[in-house]
Structure 1
Amino acid sequence: MIRVERSPAAARQAAHRLVLYAGVLDNPAGQAFLRLMELLDQSRGGGTGSEPVWEAYAQLFRLLAADVELGTEAPVGDPWQNLLLERVLADENPFSLKAAASGLEAMGASLVRQAREDLRCLAELAAWDSEAVAQAVEAATGTKPGGWAALRPRPGAAGEDPLAAARRRTKERLVKASDWGDCLEDLAAHYRTHGTGLFGRFRAFRWDGGELVPVPHPDPVRLEDLPGYARQHQLLLDNTQRFVRGLPAHNALLFGPAGTGKSSAVKAVAHALAGTGLRLVEVGRDGLKFLPKALDLLAAASNRFILFIDDLSFEDHETEYKALKACLEGSAAGRPANVLVYVTSNRRHLVRQRVSERPGASTDELHPQDAMAEKLSLADRFGLRIAFYPPDQQAYLEMVEALVRQAGIAIDRDELHRRALAFEREQGGRSGRTARRFLDELKAEQALRAEQSRRADKALEPAG
């Protein structure tokens, strides 16, 4: 952290000198901080009493407490410093947008110089950590507040999200630096890889009613959580890795019966590559009519996107599939180079077919072959088609064993097989979903046994 002489007046001046990153303070916590600095500055000349200072401090504390205690990510440095850093990573300004689109080497010298100066101003504001603010409040009011340094987040999911991990690494480099301006190259590289704005903060989105809505807590499923389909997963992963590297890649259709893990495979691949700047955008069937608008929005961003349409199929009287077909190939605009379409379906050809449409069958269609070709042409526009078939008994038991081993559950192998097969019969079929549900049953049993054991041990403890 850059070392500066802290004074409320200097902090206010640093805030006023912000040019590119002025938006970092355009939020309730930023405004509360500036109000507190203003009152602390006035208190030095006897221009304000202790009550307004305490009110301003309380407002800032509440906002920082909500940001940390109600979240799941531990702050980097001080909670106030972490808030500033998060805003820096998400701020959309000429520097961050140019870095995301073209990199630092494409910028004019004036833009680079101003960005470096802004970072130094922000470092002056970040120097007001919990202890510095508490000392200033004590000097103004005679009472020292406890501060916010010991705020702690809620427990999060096991394993850090790849995008959150990338943000954390960049924030750590800044907070440890003696001069934030020296971290300009690291910050530009972060923008170049991960983007900025919403795409820099979230790795998954829903296209809802013609608008892009972030998904704050996307499914954290990983490929290693989905045993039994290694070949299919590798095909999808290889295709997606080529895409994020800017190499030719295919739109993909994953088809097969329900419960075989098609949707989970797409989410797991997107999770695995989120640290490379890949973002997942899920589109419901009702959103297909807005696809051109979605593609225009994504085309303007620097990130790469998987447009994910889950569990898709069409009846023979429905025509929405034509919008998807035009998106894949055939429209005048064409699919943006930074977008791939991944679709899952229980139907290999997506559109329902009738026996009457087969060659030689009796039908009132004048050209039945043309009708059949029209329906098959949608699936033909996916360069990568991956089949997910239900496992046989041996494969199902191997899935169960892998999941149980990964969860660290100790159980006799013969007992495991007997119970897994009984559970499969109750569920009405073998699938990856059935195997994962069986694992959930075992986890629940294990947790209940552990709780009963703790209660029994506590009952044996001597009173008093």
Structure 2
Amino acid sequence: MHHLTSKLVIYKNINPDSILLRLSNICQQFESGDYVQEDLISDIYIEINRLLDISTLYGFDKNLWHNYLAFVLAMTENPFTLVSEKVGVNQGTVNKFACNDFGIFKQLFDYDFSKIEKELDIDCFGIITDYDAVVKSEQIFNKSVSEKVQKLSQAIEQAKDDDEVYKVVTDFYRVYGVGEFGLNKAFRISPQEESGISTGDMSRIASDDKSRILYPITNTSDMQLEDLVGYESQKRELVQNTEAFVEGRKANNVLLYGDAGTGKSASIKAILNQYYSKGLRMIEIYKHEFKELPKVIDAIKNRNYRFIIYMDDLSFEEFEIEYKYLKVVMEGGLEAKPENVLIYATSNRRHLIRETWSDRSDMAEDELHRSETVNEKLSLAARFGVTIGYYTPQRSEYFNIVTTLARRHPEITLTDEELISEAGKWEMRHGGMSGRTAQQFVDSLLAASDSS
């Protein structure tokens, strides 16, 4: 195996601490005959254990070795893969080196572990190449990456020669992209722990970990715009702006404002699902993280994706200064906001700030300073070129939401009149009329039907 990995050119930057290169070194020791059997077996089992960890995190199945090699190809960022992502391969001499590397990966796919197993009297490689994974809840593993990597793995298995592997992998980069930005929909600044292993650790298994700022959110919702009942004009305006953005036309930052539970956040999640395949990605960021915005933008500005920086429930109290970081980004500062980045925010305040008596008091000694602060915050709201209002539905609209949601579930057998009557009682006890209240009412009916 070592004689193969040592000849890699394009994929030379694979982390020396990766499973692939550590197994390669183990195979080199074995082939040289210069080893202590117990120590070599122990080293092999360490790498098998790491392979099982990564397979659990990504829900891999059947041939875990093939899945892992496909994962390395999908996640390794280098000049060749970054140029290929979402736009396809350019002609040039580098393609000869790429063909060489893909030929090596095909040989690694077909690597025969039987000699090392027989000599050391172990069977772990046979197990991982014919693995029967326990079926897990989709919430437990990274479904977005899992499906794509396994599809790539199967396509490489079926490839007849090096040229076909080249086509399979470069087509993958063109359709899905490369690395975590390519294979995931949404990101956050803080790392997410799953199965005791962070996704950051997993990326390091594939390639060198650069000073990372963003981590994938692996359990994104499947919300679609049609799932959100009503608010047709609001959804239409959001779609028009987002479509212009993903197609490279002029688009605006967007503020969705209005009452709680009306579908502001749901609309943005649905927009991500609708345009993910066209290169849209989302970064969720909280107010206390605004100072990290320049680092976030630096990490994404040269990638072939469109990024929405998403701020949920955005508003500023009297003494909060985080808005200054956001204002610098929205106004350009020393470095203009890249054309592949927009900011979408939701808020229950049209102007993003809570007006207090101290904001407006003509008795305050620092009245001028307060006035400037309020104006500065108000000017931030003006930086959202599109503002879309989501208002509490009228009674008839609320009942329409309830009946529409309920009719999606045949097990709910109440008539429209019964639904409306019960929904009216429910909203009075559960915080008023909203899309969220309607969904909670329907969920309560489903829970009752499940238990009966």
TM-score, length of structure 2 as denominator length: 0.81
Aligned-residue identity in percent = 32
Residue pair 2:256, 2:347 contacting (<8 A) in 1 also = yes
Structure possessing the higher radius of gyration over alpha carbons: 1
Residue pair 1:54, 1:137 contacting (<8 A) in 2 also = no
Deviation larger for 139-148 or 234-243: 139-148
The amino acid that maps onto 2:442 is: L
Instruction: Name the residue aligned to 1:455.
Output: none
**TM-superposed deviation, 1:115:** 1.1
Residue pair 2:187, 2:217 contacting (<8 A) in 1 also = yes
Instruction: Name the residue aligned to 1:4.
Output: none
Residue pair 1:72, 1:156 contacting (<8 A) in 2 also = no
SS of residue paired to 2:85: helix
SS of residue paired to 1:246: coil
Instruction: Name the residue aligned to 1:96.
Output: 81
CA distance in 1 between partners of 2:137 and 2:440 (Å): 24
The amino acid that maps onto 1:99 is: S
CA distance in 1 between partners of 2:368 and 2:73 (Å): 63
**TM-superposed deviation, 1:389:** 0.8
**TM-superposed deviation, 1:337:** 0.6
Q: Do the aligned partners of residues 318 and 121 (structure 1) sit closer, same or farther apart at CA in structure 2, a change above 3 Å counting?
A: same
Instruction: Name the residue aligned to 2:10.
Output: 20
**TM-superposed deviation, 1:71:** 3.5
Q: Do the aligned partners of residues 224 and 165 (structure 1) sit closer, same or farther apart at CA in structure 2, a change above 3 Å counting?
A: farther
Q: Report whether the alignment pairs 1:116 with 2:102.
A: no
CA distance in 2 between partners of 1:164 and 1:277 (Å): 18
CA distance in 2 between partners of 1:137 and 1:143 (Å): 8
Deviation larger for 368-377 or 409-418: 368-377
Deviation sequence 1:25-46 (CA, Å, 0-9, x none):
7455324532553465357xxx
SS of residue paired to 1:275: helix
Q: Report whether the alignment pairs 1:440 with 2:443.
A: yes
CA distance in 2 between partners of 1:162 and 1:237 (Å): 23
Residue pair 1:53, 1:137 contacting (<8 A) in 2 also = no
Deviation sequence 1:329-380 (CA, Å, 0-9, x none):
352322111100001100011123358989xx96775799977754432222
Mapping for residues 255-266 of structure 1, pairs under 5 Å: 255-266=257-268
Residue pair 2:234, 2:390 contacting (<8 A) in 1 also = yes
Residue pair 1:193, 1:277 contacting (<8 A) in 2 also = no
Q: Report whether the alignment pairs 1:140 with 2:129.
A: no
SS of residue paired to 2:407: helix
1:83 corresponds to which of 40, 62, 68? 68
TM-score, length of structure 1 as denominator length: 0.79
The amino acid that maps onto 1:17 is: K
Structure 1 gaps of 5+ residues are 1-10, 450-464
Q: Paired residues, what number? A: 426
CA distance in 2 between partners of 1:108 and 1:22 (Å): 19
Residue pair 1:259, 1:434 contacting (<8 A) in 2 also = yes
Mapping for residues 10-409 of structure 1, pairs under 5 Å: 11-24=1-14, 26-31=16-21, 33-34=23-24, 37-38=27-28, 41=31, 54-55=41-42, 58-68=45-55, 70-71=56-57, 73-75=59-61, 78-100=63-85, 103-105=88-90, 108-109=92-93, 111-128=94-111, 132-133=112-113, 135-137=114-116, 139-141=118-120, 147-148=127-128, 149-152=130-133, 153-156=135-138, 165-192=147-174, 194-208=176-190, 211-353=213-355, 374-409=376-411
Structure 2 gaps of 5+ residues are 192-211
The amino acid that maps onto 2:77 is: E
CA distance in 2 between partners of 1:271 and 1:88 (Å): 25
The amino acid that maps onto 1:323 is: Y
The amino acid that maps onto 1:124 is: Q
The amino acid that maps onto 2:115 is: A
Instruction: Name the residue aligned to 2:204.
Output: none
The amino acid that maps onto 1:108 is: G
Instruction: Name the residue aligned to 1:410.
Output: 412
Residue pair 1:194, 1:303 contacting (<8 A) in 2 also = no
